[in-house]
Amino acid sequence: ETGVTQSPTHLIKTRGQQVTLRCSSQSGHNTVSWYQQALGQGPQFIFQYYREEENGRGNFPPRFSGLQFPNYSSELNVNALELDDSALYLCASSSRGDLAKNIQYFGAGTRLSVL
Amino acid sequence: DQQVKQNSPSLSVQEGRISILNCDYTNSMFDYFLWYKKYPAEGPTFLISISSIKDKNEDGRFTVFLNKSAKHLSLHIVPSQPGDSAVYFCAASARGGSGNTGKLIFGQGTTLQVKP
């Protein structure tokens, strides 16, 4: 059973550019959540997708958007990158049973640097 | 507004002794609390959780205590082992209208070092 995988592992962009981060959910998981972890901070909830629909959103502007595909993999898109978007982006997947216990399984993350 | 706080950025203990990691929260709507462990270059890994209807949950060497009146929880690791050295995050969740939202609110993390 493969776990949650994210790509790329590292990315460097310049201010104003757009970026797409990818996540493959753990087998059997139909819910995916994205988190942003700034240096020295805990992860912050961006949004969650369930069956290809957004199912909850944190306090992030609309330039943060996402997609979930029929195979439950997911993308996080960020437009008009700002310096403060530099962070580790974590994807987490879960089944509905896991979610009932609030358990999410995290990938290793994508480290985004905005210059 | 930091709803979940871990006020100790780091903790160092001797192997075999008890490690106690603390977490405070402000939102009385939180009904589920979790601890995650994170090694470098890996994603956070679920460790143990507790529902707000309980005050203690134990799993092997790990025990989580919840004091609702003080809005405080703690994770006890006994005995501590060098492999426990990692960053520990406290997280909380509030039930939404249609069940668990899956939105976890994390603290800033505490780096635990267990010395051999």
**Which structure tokens are listed for B78?**
């006994």
What's residue A2's pLDDT? 67
Q: What residues in B contact A42, CB-CB < 8 Å?
A: 4, 6, 89, 91, 106-109
Q: Over the stretch B59-112, which tens digit does the pLDDT of each residue have?
A: 999 999 999 999 999 999 999 999 999 999 999 998 755 555 678 999 999 999
Q: A32, A53, A89, A102: which to substitute to probe chain B, counting the most B Cβ within 10 Å? A: A102
User: Between B91, B102, B107, which is nearest A48 by CB?
Assistant: B102
Q: Over the stretch A9-68, which tens digit does the pLDDT of each residue have?
A: 999 999 999 999 999 998 888 899 999 999 989 999 999 998 889 888 999 999 999 999
Cα–Cα distance measured from residue A56 to residue A53, given in angstroms and rounded to the nearest whole number: 9
Q: What is the distance, to the nearest Å, from the Cα of residue B73 to the centroid of all Cα atoms in its chain?
A: 7
3-state DSSP of A43-93:
CEEEEEEECCEEEEECCCCCCEEEEECCCCCEEEEECCCCHHHCEEEEEEE
What's residue A100's pLDDT? 77
Size of interface A-B (CB pairs under 8 A): 70
**Which structure tokens are listed for A111?**
């480290």
Q: Over the stretch A45-62, which tens digit does the pLDDT of each residue have?
A: 999 998 889 888 999 999
Quick one: chain A helix, strand, coil %, rounded to 5?
A: 5, 50, 45
What's residue A45's pLDDT? 94
Cβ within 8 Å of residue A5, ≥6 positions away? A23, A24, A107
pLDDT band for A102, please (50, 70, 90 cuts). Answer: confident
Q: Return the sign of the alpha-carbon dihedral for residues A89, A94, A96, A99.
A: negative
Q: Over the stretch B11-64, which tens digit does the pLDDT of each residue have?
A: 999 999 999 999 999 999 898 999 999 999 899 999 999 999 999 999 999 999
